[in-house]
Amino acid sequence: MSFKHSELSVPELVVHKIGDLRWYETPEGYKYPSITSVLGRQPEKQAGLKKWRESIGEKAAGMISGKAARRGTVFHNICEDYLNNEEIVQHKDQNFLSWCMFNELKPYLNDIRKVVLQEKSMYSDRFKVAGRCDLIAEMEDGIAIIDFKTTTKMKKREWITDMFIQCSAYASMFDELTGTRVPDIAIMMVAEDGQVEVFKEKAENFYDDLEVMMNNFYDSFELAA
C-alpha cells in the first residue's frame, strides 16, 4: 500500500508552555491555547478525573495513565509512519499492544485516497485556539478531519462530544488557513480487545459548542490572571 500526499505546506508554529497549558504562537505573534489543553481544563473533565483517581488511588491511577499514554504515543507513531509510506516493523517491539491495535485499524486506513495534512500545527483566529491535527485526508465520500484514539474499552458516541469539538476546531483552522472547507469528522477508535469504531459527524454541528467553550475558557483565564 502506498499513499498519495498533497503538496500543501503550512508553517510550523512556535510552542510555549505557560503555566500548565500549551500555547501556540501564530505568524502574526498571537498566542492561542492548544485545543487539547482547553478541553482538559473543562470543569466537568477535571472533576471526573479527580473522582476516578480518588476511587482507585493515586498509584494505580498513575500506572493506568502511564500505560495509556505509552500505548497512544506508539500507536500514533505507527499510523504516521504507515501513512508516510515508511517502514513500521520497528514499532512492533516498542509496544506490542499498540502494534496489534494498529493492525486492527489498518484496513480502515487503507481506504484513504490522499493524505492532505498530517501532524501539523494550525490555528483559528475565529475561535482563538490552535492545535496539532492527526490527519486530514481525502476519503471516498470527501475530505475529512481524522483523529486516532486508543482506549481500554470502546466508548459510546455520547461520551465523546469533546472529541468532536476538538475536530471541529481543526476543521475551522484548516478552512481559515487554506480556504478549503472540511465538512466531515471521523474519530477512528481502537480498543484493547481489537474492536474498532469509526464515529462520523459534521464539523459544523459543534461550532456552537466550541464557541461557548472558548468564551468560557478566556473568561476563566482572565479571572485567574
Which 3 state secondary structure label does DSSP give 130? strand
Please give the DSSP secondary-structure letter assigned to residue 86: -
pLDDT tens, position by position, 165-213: 999 999 999 999 999 999 999 999 999 999 999 999 999 999 999 999 9
Please give the DSSP secondary-structure letter assigned to residue 194: S
User: With bands split at pLDDT 50, 70 and 90, how would you rate the model's confidence at 47?
Assistant: low
Where do the H-state alpha helices sit in 57-118?
Answer: 58-83, 96-109
pLDDT tens, position by position, 18-39: 888 999 999 999 999 999 999 9
Please answer whether residues 145 and 171 qualify as being in contact, where contact means their C-beta atoms are separated by less than 8 angstroms.
yes
Residue 85 lies in a domain: no
Q: Which is more confident, 145 or 49?
A: 145
Residue 116 lies in a domain: yes
Residue 40 lies in a domain: yes
Residue 35 lies in a domain: yes
Number of domains in the chain: 1
Please answer whether residues 30 and 140 qualify as being in contact, where contact means their C-beta atoms are separated by less than 8 angstroms.
no
pTM value is: 0.91
Please give the DSSP secondary-structure letter assigned to residue 13: P
pLDDT at 224 over 70: no
Which residues form the domain of 37? 4-55+112-224
Residue 47 lies in a domain: yes
Work out the angle at residue 183's Cα, subtended by the Cα atoms of residues 181 and 187, and round it to the nearest 5 degrees.
125
Residue 165 lies in a domain: yes
- The Cα–Cα gap between 112 and 89 comes to 21
- The Cα–Cα gap between 42 and 20 comes to 14
Residue 71 lies in a domain: no
pLDDT tens, position by position, 70-79: 888 999 999 9
Residue 68 lies in a domain: no
- The Cα–Cα gap between 21 and 81 comes to 28
Q: Which is more confident, 201 or 58?
A: 201
Average pLDDT, the chain: 91
